[in-house]
Amino acid sequence: MFEPSFKKGLLAVLVLCFLVQSVLVYTDHVDLELSAKAIEGRRLYHESACQVCHQLWGQGGFLGPDLTNAASRVDETRLVSLLTVGSGQMPALSFNPRQIDQMNAFLKEIDRRDIGGGELRMGDPSTGTNVQEAFESAIIDLVPPTGTAAGFETFRTGMCKSCHFPFQTSIVGAPDLSTTGERLSETELIEVLTSGRPEAGMPPPVPELSTGQIDDLISYFFWLNANRAELEGDTHARQEDRTVNWRSLPWWEYR
């Protein structure tokens, strides 16, 4: 199915990921001091495979919620019930009172904002914004004129944004549409928005766009281009305090 050179490339990428991960783990100087009881809790966490369904600092499985700050949310009565009879898709684990106490200590001691919050890699859950959402709220705050706003709405609610990302070319090669106004004429834009460029990875829009929708999309792209600098600055400002400082995250849980 794949070319041999592609397989080699893929293998090289996987090996590189492994090396980067190993370096991060072994050069980790973030010291999260845990009490003896919490260390027992951490052992139970791994032995009971909690990480298959839960994340710590955003890493792990995604069936259940991130547990980095669970101690602030889950009281002890609920924890007892979770670790004995389970809840929803969380299985019954029949922890005894000593084990519950250890797990409780572990969850309490890792719940430290100065070390890092949960779900970091998915953005701060309290604001619920990722790059895309920051970009969209920047657009809304700039109050585009009516036709442009309708074009933005067509773009935002269609499949478009699964391939086109703000201010960058996405991995599938979909270009940054805020600079399209400099590259393409109106005629060329109509052509792309009608037939796509299937050979280059841009599918013909489904459902087909009406003439009115195409007009609005085009005015949106030109407006985007005219306001690019301001929108880009605003998008980054909204993202600013949400970047993850990788060095400050503890990697020890994988040791």
In the complex, what is the shortest distance from the CB of residue 67 to ligand HEC, in angstroms, rounded to a whole number?
6
Which residue, 160 or 244, is less far from ligand HEC as judged by CB?
160
Enumerate residues 6+ apart whose C-beta is below 8 A from 165: 131, 132, 174, 176
159 binds ligand HEC (CB under 6 A): yes
Give CA 203 to chain center in angstroms. Answer: 25
Q: Considering only residues 129, 158, 242, 244, which one is a binding residue for ligand HEC as defined by CB under 6 A?
A: 158
What stretch of H or E contains 55?
Answer: strand 55-56
Residue whose C-alpha is closest to residue 215's, from 189, 235, 241: 189
Which residues 216-245 are close enough to bind ligand HEC by CB under 6 A?
A: 217
Integer Cα distance of 57 and 20 in angstroms: 18
Give CA 27 to chain center in angstroms. Answer: 25
214 binds ligand HEC (CB under 6 A): no
- Residues 117-156, one symbol each (x = binds ligand HEC by CB under 6 A, - = not), give --------------------------------------x-
Which alpha helices (H) appear in 27-96, and where do they start and end?
36-47, 70-73, 76-84
Under the rule (CB under 6 A), what is the footprint of ligand HEC? 45, 48-50, 52-54, 63-65, 67, 70, 73-74, 79, 82, 87-91, 93, 103, 155, 158-160, 162-164, 172-175, 177, 180, 183-184, 189, 192-193, 197, 200-203, 205, 217
